[in-house]
Chains A and B, each alone.
Chain A
Amino acid sequence: MWVASRELATRWCVANSRQALSLVLDKISTLVWCLIQPMTFKNMAKKLLGDPINRVDGALKATGRARYSADIKRPGMLHGVLVMSTIANGKITAIDTADALKVPGVVNVMSHQNAPKLAGMDKNKPSEIATDRVLHVFQDDLVHYNNQPIAMVLAETLEQATEGASLVRVTYQTQPVKLPLPAGKADMSTPKQMPRVDDQVDTKRGDLAAGLAAAINRMEETYTTPTMNHNALEPHALLAYWEGDKLTMYNATQGISGCQKRVAEIFGMPKENVRVITQFLGGGFGSKGTTFSHVMLAPMAAKLTGKPVRLVLKREQMFGMVGNRSATVQRLNLATGKDGKLLATAHHSITQTSDFDEFAEPAGTITRMLYACPNLDTTHKFIRANIGTPAPMRAPGEAPGVFALESAIDEMAAQLRMDPLAFRLANYAETDPNKDKPFSSKSLRECYRQGAERFGWSKRPAQPRSLKNGNYLRGMGMATTVYPMNRGESTALVRLKPDGTVQVETATQDLGTGTFTIMTQIAAEVFGLSPDQVTLSAGDSIYPTSSVSGGSRNTASTGSAVTQAAQEVLKKARQMALKDPKSPLFNVAEAEIVVQKGGQLQQKSNPKVGEALTSLLKRNGNKPLEATVQSKQGDEKGKYSMNAFGAVFAEVEVDELLGEVRVTRLLGSFAAGRIVNLKTARSQVLGGMVWAVSMALHEKTVFDPRNNRVMNANLAEYHVPVNADIQEIDGFFIEEADDIVNPAGVKGIGEIGVVGTVSAIANAIYHATGRRFRDLPITVDKVLA
Chain B
Amino acid sequence: MKLFSYAQATKPADAVQLLGAQTQSKFIAGGTNLVDLMKYDVESPDRLVDISQLALTQIDATDKGLRIGALARNSDVAANALVMKQFPLLSEALLAGASPQLRNMATMGGNLLQRTRCHYFYDVSQPCNKRAAGSGCGAIGGYNRIHAILGSSPSCIATNPSDMNVALAALDAVVQVTGPNGSRSIPILDFHRLPGNTPQRDTVLEANELITAVDLPTTAIGGKSHYLKVRDRASYAFALVSVAARLAVENGVVRDVRIALGGVAHKPWRLPDVEKNMVGKPATETTFRSAAKALLAGAQPHEHNAFKIQLAENAIVRALQTVS
A716→B238 contact, CB < 8 A: yes
Known contacts A702-B143, A722-B233, A781-B145; A709 and B1 CB within 8 A of each other? no
Known contacts A471-B318, A784-B311; A722 and B234 CB within 8 A of each other? yes
Residues of A with C-beta under 8 A to B142: 704-706, 711
Residues of B with C-beta under 8 A to A232: none
B41→A719 contact, CB < 8 A: no
B232→A780 contact, CB < 8 A: yes
**Chain A, 195-232, contact with B by CB distance < 8 Å: what is the 0/1 string?**
00000000000000000000000000000000000000
Name the contact of B234 in the complex, choosing from A86, A658, A724 (C-beta under 8 A).
A724
Is B307 an interface residue, CB under 8 A from the partner? yes
Residues of A with C-beta under 8 A to B311: 658-659, 780-781, 784
Residue of A nearest to B120 (CB): A711
Residues of B with C-beta under 8 A to A462: none
Name the contact of B123 in the complex, choosing from A163, A711, A722 (C-beta under 8 A).
A711
Is B6 an interface residue, CB under 8 A from the partner? no
**Chain A, 704-718, contact with B by CB distance < 8 Å: what is the 0/1 string?**
111001011010110
B230→A166 contact, CB < 8 A: no
Is B101 an interface residue, CB under 8 A from the partner? no
Residues of A with C-beta under 8 A to B315: 658
CB distance from B146 to the nearest CB of A (A): 8
A717→B307 contact, CB < 8 A: no
Residue of A nearest to B235 (CB): A724
Name the contact of B1 in the complex, choosing from A162, A711, A724 (C-beta under 8 A).
A162
Is A723 an interface residue, CB under 8 A from the partner? yes
Is A127 an interface residue, CB under 8 A from the partner? no
**Chain B, 216-259, contact with A by CB distance < 8 Å: what is the 0/1 string?**
00000000000000111111111010000000000000000000
Name the contact of A785 in the complex, choosing from B2, B230, B238, B307 (C-beta under 8 A).
B307
> With A and B bound together, what is the CA distance between A705 and B144 in angstroms?
12
How many of chain B's residues touch chain A, expressed as a range? 35 or more
Residue of B nearest to A779 (CB): B232
Name the contact of A658 in the complex, choosing from B1, B230, B236 (C-beta under 8 A).
B230
Is B270 an interface residue, CB under 8 A from the partner? no
Name the contact of A709 in the complex, choosing from B126, B141, B232, B235 (C-beta under 8 A).
B126
User: Which chain B residues (273-320) contact chain A, with CB distance < 8 Å?
Assistant: 304, 307, 310-311, 314-315, 317-318
B318→A659 contact, CB < 8 A: no
**Chain A, 80-98, contact with B by CB distance < 8 Å: what is the 0/1 string?**
0000001000000000000
> With A and B bound together, what is the CA distance between A705 and B304 in angstroms?
12
Is A325 an interface residue, CB under 8 A from the partner? no
Is B5 an interface residue, CB under 8 A from the partner? no
**Chain B, 115-150, contact with A by CB distance < 8 Å: what is the 0/1 string?**
001011011011000000000001001110110000
Is A465 an interface residue, CB under 8 A from the partner? no
> With A and B bound together, what is the CA distance between A673 and B126 in angstroms?
52
Known contacts A658-B311, A784-B310; A159 and B234 CB within 8 A of each other? no
Residue of B nearest to A703 (CB): B143
> With A and B bound together, what is the CA distance between A331 and B151 in angstroms?
42
Residues of A with C-beta under 8 A to B1: 159, 162-163, 166
**How many residues does chain A have at the interface if contact means C-beta atoms less than 8 Å apart?**
35
> With A and B bound together, what is the CA distance between A238 and B235 in angstroms?
33
Name the contact of B232 in the complex, choosing from A166, A657, A703, A719 (C-beta under 8 A).
A719
Residues of B with C-beta under 8 A to A159: 1
Name the contact of B314 in the complex, choosing from A658, A698, A719 (C-beta under 8 A).
A658
CB distance from A710 to the nearest CB of B (A): 9
Is A178 an interface residue, CB under 8 A from the partner? no
B307→A781 contact, CB < 8 A: yes
> With A and B bound together, what is the CA distance between A51 and B317 in angstroms?
54
Residues of A with C-beta under 8 A to B143: 702-704, 711-712
Is A156 an interface residue, CB under 8 A from the partner? no
Residues of B with C-beta under 8 A to A294: none
Residue of B nearest to A712 (CB): B119
Known contacts A711-B143, A780-B240; A659 and B230 CB within 8 A of each other? yes
Residues of A with C-beta under 8 A to B232: 698, 719, 779-780
A698→B230 contact, CB < 8 A: no
Chain A interface, DSSP helix/strand/loop, else mixed? loop
A166→B41 contact, CB < 8 A: yes
Is A725 an interface residue, CB under 8 A from the partner? yes
> With A and B bound together, what is the CA distance between A784 and B143 in angstroms?
19
Residues of B with C-beta under 8 A to A163: 1-3
B237→A709 contact, CB < 8 A: no
> With A and B bound together, what is the CA distance between A212 and B253 in angstroms?
62
Residues of A with C-beta under 8 A to B145: 702, 781
Is A660 an interface residue, CB under 8 A from the partner? yes
Residues of B with C-beta under 8 A to A86: 125
Is A374 an interface residue, CB under 8 A from the partner? no
CB distance from A33 to the nearest CB of B (A): 50
B230→A662 contact, CB < 8 A: no
CB distance from B178 to the nearest CB of A (A): 32
> With A and B bound together, what is the CA distance between A371 and B283 in angstroms?
56
Is A584 an interface residue, CB under 8 A from the partner? no
User: Which chain B residues (12-51) contact chain A, with CB distance < 8 Å?
Assistant: 41
Is A721 an interface residue, CB under 8 A from the partner? yes
B141→A719 contact, CB < 8 A: no
A159, A704, A711, A784 interface centre (most CB from chain B within 10 Å): A711
Residues of A with C-beta under 8 A to B125: 86, 709
Residue of B nearest to A726 (CB): B234
> With A and B bound together, what is the CA distance between A261 and B10 in angstroms?
59
> With A and B bound together, what is the CA distance between A698 and B235 in angstroms?
12
Name the contact of B233 in the complex, choosing from A698, A706, A711 (C-beta under 8 A).
A698
> With A and B bound together, what is the CA distance between A162 and B3 in angstroms?
11
Residues of B with C-beta under 8 A to A711: 119-120, 123, 142-143
Residues of B with C-beta under 8 A to A714: 122
CB distance from B78 to the nearest CB of A (A): 17
Residues of B with C-beta under 8 A to A717: 117, 119, 146, 238
> With A and B bound together, what is the CA distance between A17 and B145 in angstroms?
70
CB distance from A85 to the nearest CB of B (A): 9
CB distance from B261 to the nearest CB of A (A): 14
B2→A658 contact, CB < 8 A: no
Residues of A with C-beta under 8 A to B236: 722, 724
CB distance from B279 to the nearest CB of A (A): 25
Residues of B with C-beta under 8 A to A698: 232-233
Residues of A with C-beta under 8 A to B237: 716, 719, 722
B318→A658 contact, CB < 8 A: yes
Name the contact of A780 in the complex, choosing from B3, B123, B230, B238 (C-beta under 8 A).
B230
Residues of B with C-beta under 8 A to A657: 314, 317-318
A780→B307 contact, CB < 8 A: yes
> With A and B bound together, what is the CA distance between A704 and B303 in angstroms?
12
CB distance from A714 to the nearest CB of B (A): 8
CB distance from B265 to the nearest CB of A (A): 18
> With A and B bound together, what is the CA distance between A523 and B233 in angstroms?
43
User: Which chain A residues (716-753) contact chain B, with CB distance < 8 Å?
Assistant: 716-717, 719, 721-725
Residues of A with C-beta under 8 A to B317: 657
> With A and B bound together, what is the CA distance between A722 and B235 in angstroms?
7
> With A and B bound together, what is the CA distance between A209 and B2 in angstroms?
66
CB distance from B145 to the nearest CB of A (A): 7
Residue of B nearest to A702 (CB): B143
**Chain A, 259-279, contact with B by CB distance < 8 Å: what is the 0/1 string?**
000000000000000000000
Name the contact of A725 in the complex, choosing from B123, B233, B238 (C-beta under 8 A).
B233
Residues of A with C-beta under 8 A to B146: 717
Residues of B with C-beta under 8 A to A719: 232-233, 237
Other than the given A780-B311, A784-B314, 12 more pairs (CB < 8 A) read: A159-B1, A163-B2, A657-B318, A697-B233, A698-B232, A704-B126, A704-B142, A705-B142, A709-B126, A711-B123, A780-B232, A781-B240
Which residues does A use to contact B, with CB under 8 Å? 86, 159, 162-163, 166, 471, 657-660, 662, 697-698, 702-706, 709, 711-712, 714, 716-717, 719, 721-725, 779-781, 784-785
Pick the 9 closest A-B CB pairs, nearest first.
Answer: A86-B125, A724-B234, A781-B307, A724-B235, A711-B119, A657-B314, A711-B143, A725-B234, A722-B236
Q: Can you list 8 A-B contacts with CB-CB less than 8 angstroms, sorted by A residue number?
A: A166-B2, A658-B315, A659-B307, A711-B120, A716-B237, A723-B235, A781-B240, A784-B311
